[in-house]
Structure 1
Amino acid sequence: MKLFCSRKDLETALNIVNKAISSNNTLPVLNNILVKAEGKKLHFSATNLEIAISFFIDADVRAEGAVTIPAKLITSYVSLLSDEKVELSVTDGLTLLVQSSTSTTKIKCISADEFPLIPKVDVEHSFKIPTEDLDNSIMETVFAASANVSRPVLSGVYLSVDGDEMKMVATDSYRLAEKKMKLGDKIDGSFNCIIPSKTVAEMGKITSHSEAKDVEVGLSKNQVLFKVGNVELVSRLIEGKFPEYERIIPKEGKTKVQVSVEELALVLKRVSLFARENNNSIKLTATNDGKLIVSSDETKVGEEKAEVAITIDGENNKISLNSQYMLDVLTYVNNDKIEIEMNDKLSPAVIRPTEREDYVYIIMPLKV
């Protein structure tokens, strides 16, 4: 194998496929990136056996070939080069020679034959979605998925497509985020799946930096394929049935409060300092004089009560919630203002961005 390529393109490729490298791999070859020179392209692949990411760049290929290179080492090394062009060659089968104008480096590799075969997805359903729309949907939902894998379906993000509408939903049973969006083309029929939240989060890192207009999504019975620009991401799906969550969403709130995301977040951060000693429990009290009072109970470190200006429709109301769950939605929702709906202290709080009907966030109340 021998080729010349752009250092900048090489660095980009390595950084992207590195997202599939796990820190606790049991097989040494899984700590490596498969690099394959073929035609006028240089292909990169990495996998942790649950997620696989592939990427390609243009290259001046003088001799085709393939090898696997230690991911952390080659990525760190290339980031420290200053040349615009880099020469890569394999000298004796398992040694990569990296040459620039001022340096020559040899890196020990593992044979490409030992690298796992990345599965080909037998696509049964496919659709396109604008990259920006998918990126926003990921940002506004994936944080609500459970980090506890003991209930696998809750550690994933539910994706459903029906006609020209797509939904992404995540929940850990204490809070839930749902985002709806329109597809460019209407799909015949309907289908759904559960994608591991780690996969969705990694896809979000890719879409947030991609200049590609659309993302192509393909689904089989047990796999999902994302294509965006030069990137392909393949992941397994989670088996199981996602909870029938729609029934827990209150139809109408007795109290509706509109509040600035920035102002409420600042108050919540202060009150949260004192709520940590009490499982992040805070009280929200909405009053007809246009105030939302945010308070913590007294703990051994103290207590805090603060207020923020609101627009209120309905009766005075109050509810106890997890402050971190509130801060999460304020951090990730793409809006300047939100509307909080409350019924009573035993019913979920419903949070929506103002002037948007495509998103809803539910937080279960705390018993006090």
Structure 2
Amino acid sequence: MCLVPGRSLAEFVSSLGSQELVSLETDGEKLKIKAGKFGATFAGISATEFPIMPRMTEKSSIKINKKIISEIAREVAYAAAADESRPVLTGVRWSVEGDKLLVTLDGLILPARTIMELARIEDEGPAFAEASAGKDEVEMQVVKENNQVIFRVGKVEVISRVLEGNYPEVDKIIPNEWKTRVTLDKAELERAVRAAGIFARDNNNIIKFNVQSSMFNVRAAAKESGESEIEIEIEKMEGEEGEISFNYRYVMDYLGSIDKERVILEMSGNLAPGVWKAEGEEGLTALIMPVRV
């Protein structure tokens, strides 16, 4: 046996097209693949270098509905940081209150890509779907000795490391009060932000929202490319007029994560975090930090 680069192997196999038969043969620390007229030899290393993988035991485990995993991947995991200079920020924090699972196991921080991969397996992997047929739950068990967590769906197991570090206390920075609260049509806002983003790209991705009377103004400008100003009718407004600026990519990420028809934006001034909610989805809150302009 030998170990070969997984990404390179996956890319090669995906190029085989409709080849039905694939032969694999190891030669020392090399893997030879033959499929019709396609052939490749991958240089690898000894299989003994691969870490010993933990196995799920009969100890108590947590069972999570598959739908919840998909919702976490769509509604939460997108917000994790991509920069791994602070690994803890690339994770999704889980906590438990009574019989409720809160995603924001107590203090457990899992890589966001682990959650995304579980959801992808469920959505796109026919072999995995067959192995987990009839199973509506994902079984989860923490292996504290190895600082790892195991997910099991039917016959499939996914093992991930647990991230270490101090996760930001998000609850403490969510404003308890708001000065301005508007309800907007999600599709209209998404189109407006996407259009204004064409110009925001040339100005550090900055986009400005301005609330005036019954209109919601979306504006972006850059010296090199020009400017855009779009008006959206506010479906419901509470409080006073105001303005705030965001990185438009963060707004697009949020809008792409929800499937409700209307979104709510709560503002407490142009330097306080913007609180986003989907109408009818009380358990989901997104926080986007403003840009100082």
TM-score (norm. length: structure 2): 0.82
Query: Are 2:274 and 1:300 equivalent residues in the alignment?
Result: no
Query: Are 2:274 and 1:340 equivalent residues in the alignment?
Result: no
Q: Is the 8 A contact 2:33 2:41 kept in 1?
A: no
Larger radius of gyration: 1
Give the direction of change, closer, same or farther, for the CA distance of 1:112–1:227 in structure 2 (3 Å limit): farther
Gaps of 5+ in 1: 1-27, 33-47, 49-68, 170-189
Match of 1:9 in 2: none
Give the direction of change, closer, same or farther, for the CA distance of 1:134–1:70 in structure 2 (3 Å limit): closer
Give the direction of change, closer, same or farther, for the CA distance of 1:361–1:71 in structure 2 (3 Å limit): closer
Q: Is the 8 A contact 1:284 1:318 kept in 2?
A: yes
4+ residue runs over 3 A deviation: 69-77, 86-99, 103-115, 121-125, 209-212
Match of 1:214 in 2: 137
Q: Is the 8 A contact 1:125 1:220 kept in 2?
A: no
CA distance in 1 between partners of 2:250 and 2:26 (Å):
55
Give the direction of change, closer, same or farther, for the CA distance of 1:105–1:344 in structure 2 (3 Å limit): closer
TM-score (norm. length: structure 1): 0.67
Match of 2:69 in 1: 134
Q: Please state how far the C-alpha of 1:73 moved relative to its aligned partner.
A: 3.8
What is the RMSD computed on CA atoms of the aligned residues? 3.0
Q: Please state how far the C-alpha of 1:297 moved relative to its aligned partner.
A: 3.4
Q: Which amino acid aligns with 1:133?
A: I
CA distance in 1 between partners of 2:211 and 2:50 (Å):
57
CA distance in 1 between partners of 2:93 and 2:26 (Å):
48
1:189-268 to structure 2, matched below 5 A, reads 191-209=106-124, 210=129, 212-221=135-144, 222-268=147-193
Give the direction of change, closer, same or farther, for the CA distance of 1:260–1:97 in structure 2 (3 Å limit): closer
Query: Are 2:260 and 1:322 equivalent residues in the alignment?
Result: no
Q: Please state how far the C-alpha of 1:281 moved relative to its aligned partner.
A: 1.1
Q: Is the 8 A contact 1:161 1:191 kept in 2?
A: yes
CA distance in 2 between partners of 1:128 and 1:149 (Å):
29
Query: Are 2:15 and 1:80 equivalent residues in the alignment?
Result: no
Q: Is the 8 A contact 1:274 1:299 kept in 2?
A: no
Q: Which amino acid aligns with 1:250?
A: P
Give the direction of change, closer, same or farther, for the CA distance of 1:126–1:317 in structure 2 (3 Å limit): same
Q: How many residues align?
A: 278
1:68-107 to structure 2, matched below 5 A, reads 70-74=9-13, 76-77=15-16, 79-81=17-19
Which of 345, 351, 354 does residue 279 from structure 2 map onto? 354
Give the direction of change, closer, same or farther, for the CA distance of 1:126–1:281 in structure 2 (3 Å limit): same
- Percentage of matched positions with identical amino acids: 31
CA distance in 2 between partners of 1:361 and 1:192 (Å):
19
Query: Are 2:224 and 1:286 equivalent residues in the alignment?
Result: no
